[in-house]
Amino acid sequence: MSRIAVVPGSFDPITLGHLDVIERAAPLYDELHVVVVHNPDKAALLPIAQRVSLLESSVRDAGLGDNIVVASWSVGLLVDYCTDVGASVLIKGIRSQIDVAYETPMAIVNRDLADVETVFMLPNPAHAHVSSSLVRQVAALGGDVGPYVPPAVGRYLRSS
Ligand code: PNS
């Protein structure tokens, strides 16, 4: 039986912190699905299709991709996506206690709903301060987001 895991998120846009988690998780599973999910609690910068495209470029440019599937999901519960693709694990990057507090109830609900376990991974501390919301703000105010995002995202944000 193949081990399939899902890394879900808004990825609006993908940051170096996200990419670090994807890179660490990929060797642990046969298949890793990186899934863009609409989060109604957050004001979006990029359309979902653009986020998927930047994820694909970032994963490819980082030399990853052999066992990575990039997808989006907007039609129901995240665990329904997991069931559809045969995944039993969700992976979340944890930067701080704030992330633990935010993620814990979702992890419990996802286990209740469909027996999907959540694995928390610690990204490189060098990226602990990086978030998509910070990137969106720096980009909106004309700052250089280069240190926080994969090159494909930096190029896209500079040109848009
Ligand atoms: O990058 P984000 O915005 O922190 O990601 C949050 C996300 C999209 C992973 C979270 O909002 C989510 O899991 N949404 C799916 C909706 C769902 O299934 N909710 C019920 C169980 S938590």
Task: State which residues form the domain around 126.
Answer: 4-154
Structure tokens at 148: 């926080």
CA distance 103 to 118: 9
Mean pLDDT of the chain: 96
Measured CA to CA, the distance from residue 104 to residue 99 in angstroms comes to: 8
Q: How far apart are CA 107 and CA 97, in angstroms?
A: 15
DSSP type of residue 98: H
Instruction: Count the domains in the chain.
Output: 1
87, part of any domain = yes
| pLDDT of the residue at 81 | 98
- Does 159 reside within a domain? no
Total H helices, total E strands in the chain: 6, 5
Ligand 1 center from residue 6 Cα (angstroms) = 12
Q: Does 160 fall in a domain?
A: no
- Contact status, residue 111 vs residue 83, Cβ threshold 8 Å: no
pLDDT at 48 over 90: yes
pLDDT at 1: 77
pLDDT at residue 14, rounded to an integer: 98
Answer whether residue 37 is part of any domain. Answer: yes
pLDDT band of residue 75 (cuts 50, 70, 90) is: confident
* Average confidence (pLDDT) over 7-36: 98
pLDDT value for 2: 87
pLDDT above 90 covers what percent of the chain? 92
The answer to whether residue 120 is domain-embedded is yes
- Report CA(96)–ligand 1 centroid distance (Å): 18
Beta strands in the chain (DSSP E): 4-9, 31-37, 68-73, 89-93, 117-121
Residue 37 Cα to ligand 1 midpoint, Å, equals 7
Q: Is residue 128 within 8 Å of 142, Cβ to Cβ?
A: no
Domain containing residue 50: CATH number: 3.40.50.620
Residue 98: per-residue pLDDT: 95
Distant-in-sequence, close-in-space partners of 69: CB < 8 Å, separation ≥ 6: 31, 32, 33, 34, 85
Looking at residue 68, its amino acid is I
**In this structure, is residue 30 part of a structural domain?**
yes
Residue 39 beta carbon below 6 angstroms from any ligand 1 atom: yes
- 110-135 pLDDT, tens digit per residue, is 999 999 999 999 989 999 999 999 99
Q: How far apart are the first and last CA of the chain?
A: 44
Ligand 1 atom closest to Cα of residue 38: 8
